A and B are shown apart, each in its own frame.
Chain A
Amino acid sequence: MTTDTNPIAIAAITSVSAAGMPRHHFAIFAALFVFLIAAPFLLYPIFVMKVLCFALFACAFNLLLGYGGLLSFGHAAYFGMASYVSAHAAKVWGLTPELAIIAGTLVAAVLGLAIGSLAIRRHGIYFAMVTLAFAQMIYFFSLQAAFTGGEDGIQAVPRGHLFGLIDLRSSEVLYFFVLAIFFAGILLIYRIIHSPFGQVLKAIRENEPRAISLGYRVNRYKLAVFVLSATLAGVAGATKAIVFQLASLTDVYWTMSGEVVLMTLLGGMGTVFGPIVGAAVIVTMQNYLATFGDWVTIGQGIIFVVAVLLFREGIVGVLAKWIRKPL
Chain B
Amino acid sequence: MFELLGIPPQVLFGQLLLGLINGSFYAVLSLGLAVIFGLLNIINFTHGAQYMLGAFGAWMLLNYLGVGYWWAVFIVPPIVGVTGIVLERVLIRRLYHLDHLYGLLLTFGLALIIVGFFRQFFGVSGLPYPPPPLLTGGHNLGFMYLPNSRAWVIVASLIVCLATWFIIEKTRLGAYLRAATENPVMVGAFGINVPLLVTLTYGFGVALAGFAGVLAAPIYAVNPNMGADLIIVVFAVVVIGGMGSILGSILTGFGLGLIEGLTRVFYPEGSAVVIFVIMALVLLVKPAGLFGRSV
Instruction: Indicate, yes or no, whether A interacts with B.
Output: yes
Chain A residues engaging chain B, CB cutoff 8 angstroms? 1-2, 71, 73, 118-119, 121-126, 128-130, 132-134, 136-137, 140-141, 143-144, 254, 258, 261, 265, 293-298, 300-305, 307-309, 312
CB of B43 within 8 A of CB of A298, answer no
Q: Using A128-B104, A130-B239, A304-B112 as known contacts, list a sample of 20 further A-B pairs with CB atoms less than 8 Å apart, ordered by residue number in A.
A: A2-B99, A121-B287, A123-B295, A124-B101, A124-B295, A129-B43, A129-B235, A129-B239, A133-B235, A134-B280, A136-B232, A293-B119, A293-B120, A297-B113, A297-B115, A301-B110, A301-B111, A301-B113, A303-B109, A309-B94
CB of A192, distance to nearest CB on chain B (Å): 22
> Which residues from B are CB-within-8-Å of A122?
239, 283, 287, 295
CB of B120 within 8 A of CB of A295, answer yes
> Which residues from A are CB-within-8-Å of B262?
none
CB of A294 within 8 A of CB of B120, answer yes
CB of B109 within 8 A of CB of A297, answer no
> Which residues from B are CB-within-8-Å of A295?
116, 120
B60 located at the interface, meaning its Cβ lies under 8 Å from any Cβ of chain A in the complex: no
Residue in A121, A133, A304 whose beta carbon sits within 8 Å of that of B106 in the complex: A304
A-B contact pairs, 5 of them (CB 8 A): A1-B101, A133-B235, A136-B276, A261-B105, A294-B117
The 8 A-B residue pairs with the shortest CB-CB distance in the complex, in nearest-first order: A304-B109, A301-B112, A301-B113, A297-B116, A298-B116, A137-B276, A133-B236, A121-B287
Q: Report the nearest A residue to B283, measured CB to CB.
A: A118
CB of A312, distance to nearest CB on chain B (Å): 7
CB of B106, distance to nearest CB on chain A (Å): 4
Interface residues of B in 229-246 (CB under 8 A from A): 229, 232-233, 235-236, 238-239
> Which residues from A are CB-within-8-Å of B101?
1, 71, 124-125, 128
CB of A133 within 8 A of CB of B276, answer yes
Question: When chains A and B are docked, how far (Å) is the Cα of A126 from the Cα of B42?
Answer: 10
The answer to whether A126 and B295 touch (CB under 8 A), given A134-B280, A298-B120, A302-B113, is: yes
CB of A136 within 8 A of CB of B95, answer no
Most B CB atoms within 10 A — which of A125, A294, A305?
A125
CB of B283 within 8 A of CB of A130, answer yes
CB of B133, distance to nearest CB on chain A (Å): 36
CB of B43, distance to nearest CB on chain A (Å): 5
* SS of A interface (majority): helix
B91 located at the interface, meaning its Cβ lies under 8 Å from any Cβ of chain A in the complex: yes
B71 located at the interface, meaning its Cβ lies under 8 Å from any Cβ of chain A in the complex: no
B76 located at the interface, meaning its Cβ lies under 8 Å from any Cβ of chain A in the complex: no
Question: When chains A and B are docked, how far (Å) is the Cα of A2 from the Cα of B99?
Answer: 8
Q: Report the nearest A residue to B281, measured CB to CB.
A: A118
Residue in A124, A129, A144, A300 whose beta carbon sits within 8 Å of that of B112 in the complex: A300
Residue in B100, B233, B273 whose beta carbon sits within 8 Å of that of A124 in the complex: B100
> Which residues from B are CB-within-8-Å of A298?
112-113, 116-117, 120
Q: Report the nearest A residue to B98, measured CB to CB.
A: A312
Question: When chains A and B are docked, how far (Å) is the Cα of A53 from the Cα of B30?
Answer: 36
> Which residues from B are CB-within-8-Å of A261?
105, 108
Question: When chains A and B are docked, how far (Å) is the Cα of A300 from the Cα of B117?
Answer: 12
Q: Report the nearest B residue to A145, measured CB to CB.
A: B269
B65 located at the interface, meaning its Cβ lies under 8 Å from any Cβ of chain A in the complex: no
> Which residues from A are CB-within-8-Å of B102?
1, 308, 312
Question: When chains A and B are docked, how far (Å) is the Cα of A254 from the Cα of B115?
Answer: 14
> Which residues from B are CB-within-8-Å of A305?
91, 106, 109-110, 113
> Which residues from A are CB-within-8-Å of B117?
294, 298
Question: When chains A and B are docked, how far (Å) is the Cα of A308 from the Cα of B110?
Answer: 11
B284 located at the interface, meaning its Cβ lies under 8 Å from any Cβ of chain A in the complex: yes
The answer to whether A133 and B279 touch (CB under 8 A), given A1-B99, A124-B101, is: yes
The answer to whether A309 and B91 touch (CB under 8 A), given A258-B112, A301-B111, is: yes
B255-271 interface bits toward A, Cβ cutoff 8 Å, 1 = contact, 0 = none? 00000000000000100
B272 located at the interface, meaning its Cβ lies under 8 Å from any Cβ of chain A in the complex: yes
The answer to whether A133 and B239 touch (CB under 8 A), given A71-B101, A121-B287, A298-B120, is: yes
